[in-house]
């Protein structure tokens, strides 16, 4: 509780200072202006995004292997000479797993009996952090090229990074046994409920880079790289590095599992460097005439690639309304853009509670 209050006090102070700056900048006439950016994108293959955070209470999709959510809030001030400074808040969570792992977890959460006479391959990788801090950047402009690097200094208070690998067997009589190796760092032990008296603190940095190129008239190519270089350094982070065994025993009368793991290994503390994977978005836009344009993009992050195709009404450098379709997974994005505001919403299904893809982006320049 003490660490959480300490985190909240730092977050309020950081955003409070930036709020004062943005409020003053909104009324300034010396080249300062305020801005706010909110970006969120979530994707869940096994169940809907809503079910992903609510005990997987949904139909399980076969061959599911990944789920993630990336969230970022930034607010600050910009100067006409190209500089900007702002407060930043981030929350990232990425899961990679085998289809068997998804099936075992889904069955456990929903009291569904597993298939007998089968061995399940357990493979799970997790990467998570929550952080806030300050970001500083500059925009360099040339006639056909814009380069915009930025650096964020981060203070983190939530951590989970590591893996679980093993096997679980359910025999013909419904008896099961499992063995796995666990190696992960955390701020809260989600697997074995290890009691902790305090949470670790992390300090780190992130370098982002944006490029915009106009090779010919009416054509724009942009590349946005988040976390080009990014690491969080944790001081005395709790970790578990051990083998996990379950004694063979029969499941209950309904065939449901009740795991009672036996842990053999090390639970301790160590300094830890958490490297953050980068994400790339490459976009090409072509203005066809005064009224219509087309676009295509590629989003790439940690073995997940999403291609989109779209078209828009309006001009790519001024006011426009765009519709994009994500090819795999299939989803739609609606975006409105003008000189001061950009708003986009993404989903693959309605209502949003059943969607496996959810995204929202808002940019306001005052």
Q: In whole angstroms, give the CA distance from residue 231 to residue 71.
A: 17
183 pLDDT more than 90: yes
If you average pLDDT over residues 204-221, what whole number do you get? 97
What are the tens digits of pLDDT across the range 43-76? 999 999 999 988 899 999 989 999 999 999 999 9
φ/ψ of residue 48, rounded to 5: -65, 160
Residue 48 DSSP SS3: coil
Query: 125, exposed or middle or buried, with CB in 10 Å at 0-12, 13-18, 19+?
Result: middle
Say what the pLDDT of residue 113 is: 86
Q: Is the distance from CB of 252 to CB of 258 less than 8 angstroms?
A: yes
pLDDT band at 263 (very low <50, low <70, confident <90, very high): confident
Say what the pLDDT of residue 16 is: 57
Tell me the pTM. 0.88
Query: Cα–Cα–Cα angle for 199, 204, 208, nearest 5°?
Result: 135
Q: In whole angstroms, give the CA distance from residue 306 to residue 280.
A: 11
Contacts of 120 (CB under 8 A, 6+ apart): 100, 101, 103, 104, 114, 167, 168, 169, 170
Using CA atoms, how far residue 52 sits from 95, 189, 325, 329, 359, in Å, is 11, 19, 23, 17, 15
Domain parsing of the chain, residue ranges: 2-365
């Amino acid at each position: 509780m003490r660490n959480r209050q300490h985190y909240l006090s730092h977050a309020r102070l950081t955003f409070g200072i930036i709020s004062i700056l943005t409020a003053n900048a909104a009324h300034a006439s010396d080249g300062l202006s305020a801005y706010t950016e909110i970006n969120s994108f979530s994707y869940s293959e096994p169940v809907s995004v809503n079910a992903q955070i609510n005990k997987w209470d949904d139909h399980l999709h076969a061959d599911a292997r990944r789920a993630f959510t990336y969230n970022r809030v930034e607010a600050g001030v910009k100067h006409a000479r190209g500089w900007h400074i702002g407060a930043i808040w981030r929350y990232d969570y990425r899961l990679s797993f085998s289809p068997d792992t998804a099936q075992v977890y889904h069955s456990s959460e929903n009291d569904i009996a597993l298939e007998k006479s089968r061995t399940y391959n357990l493979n799970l990788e997790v990467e998570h952090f929550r952080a806030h801090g300050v970001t500083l950047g500059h925009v360099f402009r040339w006639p056909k090229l814009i380069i915009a690097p930025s650096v964020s200094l981060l203070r983190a208070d939530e951590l989970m990074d590591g893996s679980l690998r093993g096997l679980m067997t359910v025999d013909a009589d419904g008896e099961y046994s499992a063995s796995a190796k666990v190696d992960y760092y955390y701020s809260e032990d989600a697997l074995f409920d290890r009691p902790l008296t305090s949470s670790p603190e992390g300090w780190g940095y992130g370098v982002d880079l944006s490029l915009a190129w106009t090779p010919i008239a009416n054509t724009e190519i942009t590349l946005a790289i988040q976390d080009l270089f990014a690491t969080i350094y944790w001081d005395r982070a709790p970790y578990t590095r051990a083998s996990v065994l379950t004694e063979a025993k029969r499941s209950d009368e309904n065939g449901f599992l009740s795991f009672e793991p036996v842990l053999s290994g090390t639970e301790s503390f160590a300094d830890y460097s958490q490297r953050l994977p980068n994400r790339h978005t490459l976009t090409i836009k072509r203005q066809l005439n005064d009224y219509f344009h087309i676009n295509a993009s590629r989003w790439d992050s940690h073995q997940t690639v999403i291609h989109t195709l779209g078209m828009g009404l309006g001009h790519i450098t001024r006011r426009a309304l765009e519709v994009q379709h994500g090819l795999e997974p299939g989803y739609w994005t609606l975006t409105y853009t003008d000189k001061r505001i950009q708003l986009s919403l993404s989903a693959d299904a309605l209502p949003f509670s059943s969607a496996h893809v959810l995204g929202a982006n808002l940019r306001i320049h005052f």
